[in-house]
């Protein structure tokens, strides 16, 4: 059983294809669905600083746990296909014909894939720190940093983390370490152990056995999107994100892109205020 912690929101659950999917929400108006990333401990709670301000701005802000994360049902499937299916199923369960999608980290790929495949269901897309939506640098620069992070993931996939391990992971992904309060640390740790850790291990093992993906990289298809797109990255994010951001801006100067100072990978934490200033007028278009 997952540890019960007061997150400040009521935990709600929807039946999506026979799976119980947990979500938290606030506000009324146009729907904004918030996708968390795939790191150990990721969940809808990464958006606790975001939901209230979006609701105050006139939106129905909904963050949810993908299967195998947070308080949703256990699943070893971390594929984009399952996440797309879960998103559409949740939208149907909540009576949402259309929604804006906000994707953090790996989940930015889910948002873009849905926008390309089902534009009638997606009104806007906001990308937060999705490194795979940035082009690679010449000569593979930045891959060493990714390899270090991959080794960290592999180490975490061998032994269930202790509270200090969780703190170190947060510090590696946050510029503003003062945001790691004891309450936030306890919550993140609760989302990192037990069945969530088991699912994380299973996903890592499956990823290690899978072959490389084919097809055109999604970053090369961003201009095919028919809905407005906003991209926000942290200047201090990993794998030379700032350099790759500049390269994408050079290749596609028409994209609405913003690089935030004093921000690493956890954009919804490090750049909560900047997100609000950029996303609210964008979503109102």
Question: For residue 120, what are its two tokens?
Answer: 């009638």
pLDDT of the residue at 262: 98
The predicted pLDDT at position 285 comes to 87
State what percent of residues in the chain have pLDDT above 70. Answer: 90
User: What is the pLDDT, as a whole number, of residue 144?
Assistant: 60
pLDDT at residue 4 in the model: 59
pLDDT at 1: 42
Average pLDDT, stretch 188-211?
Answer: 89
- What is the rounded CA–CA span in Å between residue 28 and residue 196? 31
Q: Given the DSSP bridges, would you call strands 12-16 and 19-26 parallel, antiparallel or unpaired? A: antiparallel
Contact residues for 254 (Cβ-Cβ < 8 A; gap 6+):
223
For the chain, report the end-to-end CA distance as a whole number of angstroms.
Answer: 43
pTM of the model: 0.94
pLDDT tens digits along 161-184: 999 999 999 999 999 999 999 999
Phi-psi region of 58 (alpha: psi -120 to 50; beta: other; left: phi over 0): left
Cα 20 to its chain centre, rounded Å, is 20
Compute the average pLDDT of residues 217-234: 98
pLDDT mean across residues, the chain: 93
Cβ-based neighbours of 228, under 8 Å, separated by 6 or more:
124, 125, 256, 282, 285
Lowest mean pLDDT among 167-181, 196-210, 252-266: 196-210
Write down how long the chain is: 285
Name which of 203-217, 236-250, 263-277 the model is least confident about: 203-217
3 state DSSP class of 65: coil
Mean pLDDT over 213-228 rounds to 92
Q: What pLDDT, on a 0 to 100 scale, did the predictor assign at position 2?
A: 46
Q: Which fold has domain 12-208+221-284?
A: Rossmann fold (3.40.50)
Q: What sections of the chain are H helices per DSSP?
A: 48-56, 80-93, 107-117, 143-156, 163-173, 182-190, 195-209, 241-251, 267-270, 272-284
Q: Which residue ranges make up each domain of the chain?
A: 12-208+221-284
Does residue 215 register a pLDDT over 90? no
Encode pLDDT of 26-59 as tens digits: 999 999 999 999 999 999 999 999 999 999 999 9
């Amino acid at each position: 059983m997952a540890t019960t912690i007061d997150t400040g929101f009521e935990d709600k659950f929807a039946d999506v294809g026979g799976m119980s999917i947990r979500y938290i929400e606030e506000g009324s108006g146009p729907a904004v669905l918030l996708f968390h990333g795939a790191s150990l401990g990721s969940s809808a709670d990464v958006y606790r600083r975001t939901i209230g301000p979006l609701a105050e701005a006139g939106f129905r802000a909904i963050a949810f746990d993908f299967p195998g994360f947070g308080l949703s049902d256990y699943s070893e499937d971390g594929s984009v296909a399952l996440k797309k299916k879960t998103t559409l199923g949740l939208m149907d369960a909540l009576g949402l014909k259309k929604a804006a999608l906000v994707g953090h980290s790996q989940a930015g790929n889910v948002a873009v894939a849905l926008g390309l495949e089902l534009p009638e269901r997606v009104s806007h897309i906001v990308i937060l720190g999705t490194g795979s939506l940035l082009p690679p640098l010449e000569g593979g620069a930045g891959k060493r940093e990714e390899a270090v992070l991959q080794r960290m993931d592999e180490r975490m996939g061998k032994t269930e983390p202790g509270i200090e391990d969780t703190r170190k992971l947060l510090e590696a992904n946050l510029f503003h370490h003062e945001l790691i309060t004891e309450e936030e640390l306890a919550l993140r740790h609760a989302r990192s152990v037990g069945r969530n850790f088991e699912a994380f291990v299973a996903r890592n093992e499956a990823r290690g056995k899978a072959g490389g993906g084919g097809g055109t990289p999604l970053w090369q298809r961003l201009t095919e999107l028919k809905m407005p797109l906003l991209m926000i990255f942290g200047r201090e994010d990993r794998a030379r994100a700032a350099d790759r951001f500049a390269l994408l801006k050079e290749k596609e100067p028409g994209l609405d892109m913003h690089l935030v100072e004093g921000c690493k990978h956890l954009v919804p934490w490090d750049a909560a205020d900047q997100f609000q200033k950029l996303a609210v007028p964008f979503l109102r278009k």
